[in-house]
Chains A and B, each alone.
Chain A
């Protein structure tokens, strides 16, 4: 009796673990698809020219969803500007997707001296970020893709500079 209970318990645990494994596998497959959807995006830049995100495939791509009406977004951007300047030669590419009006975005990015492309995303961009793990649809939201185009990191809220630098250093080191 006792033995059977344990067997059933073990069986249930194994089934649960298998189900969790399948769920994780499905989640990772879904995220591959969503990463592909992200790279398939074509959004206008500040001069209105359409920019496909696929042009940065092969780089370590940091996609940052932000807006001028989001204080925490503005606060983390000087760090991105520094990282972009420091690592551009080794294939690090930041891209900002602003969920905002173009004039506000232009004013802010000029003031800050942003040295990476800023695209205008609208609320559709937030919906895409939801699919990539931003379940409440808030900003800032940052996604890092490796050189193969796989999502390696996502983060809601301002990134912590030391932690983020460590992540970038790991990705930038040639394997």
Chain B
């Protein structure tokens, strides 16, 4: 009886498991883009927002595929630090970032002390295992420091759920 049941359970498992294994999916160890390229930001002062990407090991971002927008204050031209130059057969020389990169985004007009700003960042990157992510839009809310106060810490977007 016991061996029979055990055999039955095993047999059922043997039938079910290969069926599951056949279900082809993404490489399970690949991170979703928001986790591979973690965005955070802070307002340095009423004229400047600083945006940070923490890039997971084995992933990289393209320097010239980043863009930034701030609301409700208009952003100026972002100051992108030099990346690591890499030759691309189609696009020529391209700069990439690994590890962590801080980008300064000047504001076209000074924001008010204490004002809440929404920072929108678009970025595009790849994983060394040989896949690339489509351009990824992220956003985070920051507060302009009050007059005389030092800049706050970097703020991450609130967690959106298990798969973000």
List the interface of chain A (C-beta within 8 A of B).
3, 6-7, 10-11, 13-14, 16-18, 20-21, 23-25, 27-28, 31, 67-74, 99, 108, 111, 123, 126, 133-140, 151, 153-158
In the complex, the chain A residue whose C-beta lies closest to that of B36 is A136
B residues 1-41 touching A (CB-CB < 8 Å): 2, 5-6, 8-10, 12-13, 15-17, 19-20, 22-27, 30-33
**A136 and B132 contacting across the interface, CB-CB below 8 Å:** no
In the complex, the chain B residue whose C-beta lies closest to that of A66 is B132
**B20 and A23 contacting across the interface, CB-CB below 8 Å:** yes
**A157 and B27 contacting across the interface, CB-CB below 8 Å:** yes
**B2 and A70 contacting across the interface, CB-CB below 8 Å:** no
Interface of B: prevailing SS: mixed
Question: Which A residues are in CB contact (< 8 Å) with B134?
Answer: 67, 99, 123, 126, 137-139
**B132 and A70 contacting across the interface, CB-CB below 8 Å:** yes
**B24 and A138 contacting across the interface, CB-CB below 8 Å:** no
**B24 and A10 contacting across the interface, CB-CB below 8 Å:** no
CB distance from A101 to the nearest CB of B (A): 12
**Which of B16, B62, B131 interacts with A24 by CB under 8 Å?**
B16
Known: A3-B2, A139-B134. 18 other contacts (CB 8 A): A16-B13, A17-B12, A20-B13, A21-B16, A24-B16, A24-B19, A25-B19, A27-B23, A28-B19, A68-B90, A69-B62, A70-B126, A72-B131, A123-B134, A135-B25, A138-B133, A154-B24, A156-B131
Q: In the assembly, what is the distance between CA of A10 and CA of B8, in Å? A: 8
Q: In the assembly, what is the distance between CA of A99 and CA of B89, in Å? A: 19
Question: Which A residues are in CB contact (< 8 Å) with B6?
Answer: 6, 10
Q: In the assembly, what is the distance between CA of A28 and CA of B25, in Å? A: 12
Q: In the assembly, what is the distance between CA of A118 and CA of B130, in Å? A: 21
**A156 and B20 contacting across the interface, CB-CB below 8 Å:** no
In the complex where A71-B126, A156-B131, A157-B131 touch, is A136 in contact with B30 (Cβ < 8 A)?
yes
Question: Which B residues are in CB contact (< 8 Å) with A3?
Answer: 2
**A13 and B23 contacting across the interface, CB-CB below 8 Å:** no
**B2 and A6 contacting across the interface, CB-CB below 8 Å:** yes
B residues 80-112 touching A (CB-CB < 8 Å): 88-91
Question: Which B residues are in CB contact (< 8 Å) with A14?
Answer: 5, 8-9, 12
Q: In the assembly, what is the distance between CA of A158 and CA of B126, in Å? A: 13
Q: In the assembly, what is the distance between CA of A111 and CA of B89, in Å? A: 11
> Is there a chain A Cβ closer than 8 Å to B48's Cβ?
no
Question: Which B residues are in CB contact (< 8 Å) with A17?
Answer: 9, 12-13, 15-17
